[in-house]
Amino acid sequence: MSEAVVLPVRMGRLSIGVLGVLALALGTLQSVVEPALPLLQRELGVSPAEGALVGNTLLITGAVITPVVGELGDRYGGKRVLVRLMAVVSAGGLLASLAPNLPALLLGQVLQGVMVGALPLSFILVRKHLPIGESQAAMGLVVALFAGGGMVGILIAGPLAEGLSWHWMFALPTITIIAATLAVTRLMPHDPPIRSDGGIDWPGVVLLSGTLLAFMLGLVTVTSTDLPPLAVGALAALAAALAAGWVAVERRAASPMVDPRMLAKPAMWNACVLTFAMTTSSGMVVFLLPQLFAISADGYGFGVGTTDIGLFLMPGVIAGAVSDSVGGIAARRFGPRPVFIAGAIVTAATMIALASLHDAEWQLVLAKALTAFAAGVGTTALLAGTATAVEAGDTGVATGLLIVTRVIGVALGAQISGAILAAGADPVTDQPTESAFVTGFAVAGLVAALSLLVVRFMKKGAWT
């Protein structure tokens, strides 16, 4: 006698709304740090290089969890994994809201970083409980609200930090996340797990996590302290050893988290190299502009508070959100190569111009919007082009590699910028000098320009 087929319970509008509220709160929590970095550095008494690590720790956790969370959701059920991940995020948000010092805040950011798993898990839920047409609309709503949350976070960070304290930047979104998670637990129908014979690549997860953490912690230590050459060499050797171990393990794994053999494919290699260059440049912009806005107006800066920094950054946030859809459309129409070249030219020209012209707020606002749009269009075009260039069965691995590459590039760019500002600090005031910002903008433009040189020597046929 055949087993009865159990159809999944249909998801109601209230459940979709709860997922949307959760995405909105997560996007808010993720974005509050950017405009508030100068304030956090002052309040915690840390250097720009150490301040850059506040945002980077969340990115590193996100890079590690992204390739794993979808498989966990399929294996154990999307609702079950989502609720547990949100418990970790909530713990991280509460820890950050109570953090008395930098190490506690960094630990809170590490825990918050698992929030990136909310989107793929939400997609699993709506796909299982809604017809295809309705599930696509629900996915679009969740993504739009997550992006909208990013804008909300940029806007509320200043009023909360300046009106109450910076701890409330983390507390308020976290309270909303806790409430939304409780609603998900009560309202969301359960989804049955999918049986799988393959195991999760935990050795690969651990080694990649260790590689990224060793690399970023080593970078911030090298750039913020005077380490002897032997210690610097030891840190580099540790990161290299972990990376080599990860490659070796992944090459032998039956179901690798990220297959490094994908990098041998020309389309994949090109996309990773160029994505890394573009995101490193844009990561420098993301860090440098709030710092320059916050520098005292008595010198060359503007003396802007956190609230106004958020307002000045908003056009760039909107431009970055729009660029994702434009990049995909442009890649289909013109191909990824010319779209990336255009984005790199705009980014390089903007940053080189900003090295000379940075004495008015509108110049910084325009630069942020131009680079956010150009970098977003260029990297999205690479992502879309790569997804169609590889075999259908390799799409998830290829896009996962590019997402990890994006995260590493942004984190590296922010850390390099922090190191440049720390190295160029005035010994009397302990504030970065104008020449340090000029150097940072010039380096960001040079990195983008170097990507054009890389394109020049890449074969056109390797892009598809």
Per-residue DSSP letters for 249-264?
HHHH-SS-SS-GGGGG
Identify the domain containing residue 251 by its residue range: 202-257
Is 2 within the bounds of a domain? no
Residue with the two structure tokens 């990649």: 208
Cβ contact 57:219 at 8 Å: no
* DSSP notation for 142-204: HHHHHHHHHHHHHHHHHHHHHHT-THHHHHHHHHHHHHHHHHHHHHSPP-PPPP-SSPP-HHH
pTM: 0.77
pLDDT (tens digit per residue) in 208-258: 777 877 776 676 666 655 667 777 778 788 888 988 888 888 778 776 766
pLDDT score at 94:
94
Q: Is residue 1 included in any domain, yes or no?
A: no
pLDDT of 297 above 80:
no
**pLDDT band at 363; cut points 50, 70, 90:** very high
Same domain? For 247 and 167 the reply is no
Highest-pLDDT range among 50-64, 123-137, 384-398: 50-64
**Higher-confidence position of 227 and 411:** 411
Examine residue 197 and state whether it is found in any structural domain, yes or no.
no
State whether 416 and 436 are in the same domain. yes
124 and 147 housed in the same domain: yes
Per-residue pLDDT averaged across 255-275, rounded? 75
The pLDDT value given to residue 77: 74
CB 359 within 8 A of CB 400: no
Using the 3D structure, point to which of 191, 223, 249 is the last residue of a domain.
191
Residue 196 lies in a domain: no
Asked whether residue 299 is domain-assigned, the answer is yes
What is the rounded distance in angstroms from the CA atom of residue 204 to the CA atom of residue 64?
10
> pLDDT: is 158 or 5 the higher one?
158
Question: Cα–Cα distance between 40 and 51 in angstroms, integer?
Answer: 7
Instruction: Say whether both 460 and 350 belong to one domain.
Output: yes
315 with 448, same domain: the answer is yes
* pLDDT tens readout for residues 49-68: 777 778 777 877 777 776 67
State whether 99 and 153 are in the same domain.
yes
Does residue 7 come out as left (phi exceeding 0), alpha (psi in the -120 to 50 range) or beta? beta
**CA dihedral of residues 112, 118, 121, 125 (deg, nearest 10):** 140
The pLDDT confidence band at residue 418, using thresholds 50, 70 and 90, is confident
- Domain identity same for 88 and 120: yes
Q: Clarify whether residues 310 and 448 are in a common domain.
A: yes
1 pLDDT higher than 60:
no
Is the same domain home to 32 and 65? yes
CATH of the domain at 84: 1.20.1250.20
CB 154 within 8 Å of CB 313: yes
Query: Position of tokens 């075999």?
Result: 391
Written as one letter, the residue type at 166 is W
Residue 84: how many other CB atoms lie within 10 Å: 15
- Please give the full DSSP string across 409-464, using - where no structure is assigned: HHHHHHHHHHHHHHHTB-TTT-SBPHHHHHHHHHHHHHHHHHHHHHHHTS-GGGG-
What's the whole-number mean pLDDT along residues 320-333? 78
Output the pLDDT for position 2: 43
Indicate whether 249 and 272 sit together in one domain.
Answer: no
Q: Are residues 58 and 144 in the same domain?
A: yes
8 in Cβ contact with 192 (< 8 Å):
yes
Mean pLDDT lowest among 26-40, 117-131, 232-246, 423-437: 117-131
How many other CB atoms sit within 10 Å of the CB of residue 18? Answer: 22
Confidence at residue 21, expressed as pLDDT on a 0 to 100 scale = 87
Residue 185 shares a structural domain with residue 276: no
Q: How many domains, in total, are found in the chain?
A: 3
